[in-house]
């Protein structure tokens, strides 16, 4: 049985880290090590982690350098043939590792195995909807225009991918290797998936099961719309340096799809003016987004309109009803094996 190294970056997640670690320890695949990387967390997160006496858990520390540096430190200290990443506020279902290892063992051409995910709220309650992304044929263009892979909590990666793609640290005096680009605070996962898809032979494939629970945390890194835009700009600039034709063809399309996604996030945060700004940029930059994904685009516009004109209490009720209906449709179509809802 091959060893899996589970790497958990920890920063200000004291309300969630207990459940996160439990979700790893409850895995049906038992041959793993857990590297908990303290990224200079200012709260009780690490104190909570220290309550576990499981020999498979190890706490390593760094000053606050960000999530990319924390993951890189965990990789360098790891021993497993497979690398699995789990953010400190996300959760795994018990069969997560078992399913991914089976997938990778049976697919020697696959370097990254990812799963679909379901959204949960701060309390860990399901929001009723899942991200049902494309599973095969993951091209650089597809990553740019939708990132079907999701965040690192969805993935299990062969160590060989790291050995192929590791690069020097951005800190000149530091003679260490990196996997995630430490210059990035946002979109660091998209940048990595692109680099793997463009620069290596490894393929990226998903498995048709929801195995990750992604927490919608209003204080999390994904919540800052304008920092997200800065991260996207950095991804486009870096990727253009070695794949200029790709960015020339898909750069504006990528921006439009990202602005639409951020408009939806702004709606969830009840920031209607930001949502309007993001949606205006999306359509004015690439109006064909309306034709290519009419359901997503029109539903986002409709949500912005409702949020603008209705009292928030009434909007909250409508949104909750819409989420329940979407979840019901997803469950029904999944049972029929013909789901095309929310595909990316």
271 or 322, which is more confident: 271
Residue 157 CB-half CA count within 13 A = 29
Q: pLDDT at residue 217 above 60?
A: yes
Looking at residue 322, what is its pLDDT? 84
Q: Are 278 and 297 in contact (CB under 8 A)?
A: no
Residue 83 DSSP code: E
In a domain? residue 327: yes
Are both 199 and 238 inside the same structural domain?
no
Same domain for 22 and 78? yes
Q: Are residues 198 and 233 in the same domain?
A: no
Residue 3 is predicted with a pLDDT of 98
3-state secondary structure of 330: helix
Same domain, 124 and 91: yes
pLDDT at 318: 92
Residue 278, pLDDT score: 95
Q: Are residues 18 and 134 in the same domain?
A: yes
**Contact by Cβ (8 Å): 138, 233:** no
Mean pLDDT of the chain, nearest integer = 90
Q: Are strands 203-215 and 167-168 parallel, antiparallel or unpaired?
A: unpaired
Asked whether residue 140 carries a pLDDT value surpassing 90, the answer given is yes
Which SS3 state, helix, strand or coil, does residue 237 take?
helix
- The residue among 177 and 147 whose pLDDT is bigger is 147
Q: Are residues 87 and 121 in the same domain?
A: yes
CATH of the domain at 71: 3.90.550.10
* Structural domain includes residue 69: yes
Do 217 and 259 lie in one domain? The reply is no
Which of 99, 156, 147 has its CA nearest to residue 343? 147
User: Domain tally for the chain?
Assistant: 2
Of 165, 187, 221, the residue at which a domain comes to its end is 221
- Write down the pLDDT at residue 242: 95
**Which tens digits make up the pLDDT trace of 1-12?**
999 999 999 999
Q: What is the largest CA-CA distance in the chain?
A: 58
| Together in a domain, 150 and 233 | no
The answer as to whether 344 is a domain residue is: no
- Residue-wise pLDDT for 238-284, tens only, equals 999 999 999 999 999 999 999 999 999 899 889 999 999 999 999 99
Q: Round to whole Å and give the CA distance between 167 and 164.
A: 9
- What's the domain range around 281? 227-336
Please indicate, yes or no, whether residues 117 and 233 belong to a single structural domain of this protein: no
Q: Please determine, for residue 333, whether its predicted confidence score (pLDDT) is greater than 70.
A: no
Indicate whether 48 pLDDT > 70.
Answer: yes
Does the residue 90 lie in any domain? yes
Range scoring the smallest mean pLDDT among 41-45, 104-108, 163-167, 296-300 = 163-167
Residue-level pLDDT at 341:
33
More confident residue, 177 or 184: 184
Check: CB of residue 187 under 8 Å from CB of residue 123. Answer: no
Q: Are 41 and 126 in the same domain?
A: yes
Report d(CA 306, CA 319) in Å as an integer: 10
Is residue 85 one of the residues assigned to a domain? yes
Query: With contact defined as beta carbons under 8 Å apart, do 152 and 71 qualify?
Result: yes
Q: What percent of the chain has pLDDT over 90?
A: 76
Q: Which of 221, 240, 259 is the last residue of a domain?
A: 221
Give 326's pLDDT tier (boundaries 50, 70, 90): confident
Model confidence band, residue 336 (pLDDT cutoffs 50, 70, 90): very low
Residue pointed to by tokens 């439990």: 22
129 and 239: one domain?
A: no
Higher pLDDT, 331 or 140: 140
What are the tokens at 147? 């990132």
Least reliable range by pLDDT among 33-37, 66-70, 132-136? 132-136
Helix 294-309 to helix 244-268 angle (10° resolution) is 40
What pTM does this model have?
0.89
Q: Say yes or no to pLDDT of 220 above 80.
A: no
- Band of pLDDT at residue 221, cut at 50, 70 and 90: very low
* Contact yes or no for 42/63 (Cβ under 8 A): no
Say if residues 124 and 182 touch (Cβ distance below 8 Å): no
């Amino acid at each position: 049985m091959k060893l899996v190294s589970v790497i958990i970056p920890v920063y200000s997640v004291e309300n969630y880290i207990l459940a996160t670690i439990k979700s790893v320890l409850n895995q049906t695949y038992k041959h793993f090590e857990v590297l908990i990387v303290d990224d200079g967390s200012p709260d009780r997160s690490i104190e909570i982690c220290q309550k576990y006496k499981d020999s498979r858990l190890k706490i390593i520390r760094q000053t606050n350098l960000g999530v990319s540096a924390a993951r890189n430190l965990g990789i360098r200290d790891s021993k497993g043939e497979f690398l699995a990443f789990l953010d400190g506020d996300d959760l795994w279902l018990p069969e997560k590792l078992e399913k991914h290892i089976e997938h990778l063992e049976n697919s020697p051409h696959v370097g990254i195995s990812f799963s679909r995910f379901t959204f949960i709220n701060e309390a860990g309650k399901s929001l009723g909807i899942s991200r049902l992304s494309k599973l095969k044929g993951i091209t650089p263009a597809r990553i740019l225009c939708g990132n079907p892979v999701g965040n690192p909590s969805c993935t299990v990666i062969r160590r060989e991918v790291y050995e192929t793609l590791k690069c020097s640290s951005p800190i000149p005096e530091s003679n260490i290797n990196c996997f995630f680009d430490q210059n990035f605070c946002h979109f660091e996962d998209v940048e990595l998936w692109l680099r793997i898809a463009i620069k290596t032979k490894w393929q990226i494939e998903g498995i048709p099961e929801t195995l990750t629970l992604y927490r919608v945390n209003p204080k999390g890194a994904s919540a800052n719309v304008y920092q997200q835009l800065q991260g996207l700009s950095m991804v486009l600039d870096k990727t253009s340096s070695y794949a200029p034709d790709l960015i020339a063809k898909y750069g504006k399309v990528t921006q439009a799809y990202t602005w639409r996604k951020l408009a939806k996030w702004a709606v969830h945060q009840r920031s209607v003016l930001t949502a309007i700004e993001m949606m205006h940029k999306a359509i004015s930059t690439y109006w064909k987004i309306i034709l290519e994904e009419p359901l997503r685009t029109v539903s986002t516009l409709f949500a912005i309109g409702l949020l603008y004109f209705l009292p928030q209490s009434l909007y909250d009720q409508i949104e909750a009803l819409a989420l329940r209906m979407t979840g019901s449709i997803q469950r029904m179509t999944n049972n029929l094996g013909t789901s095309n809802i929310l595909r990316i």
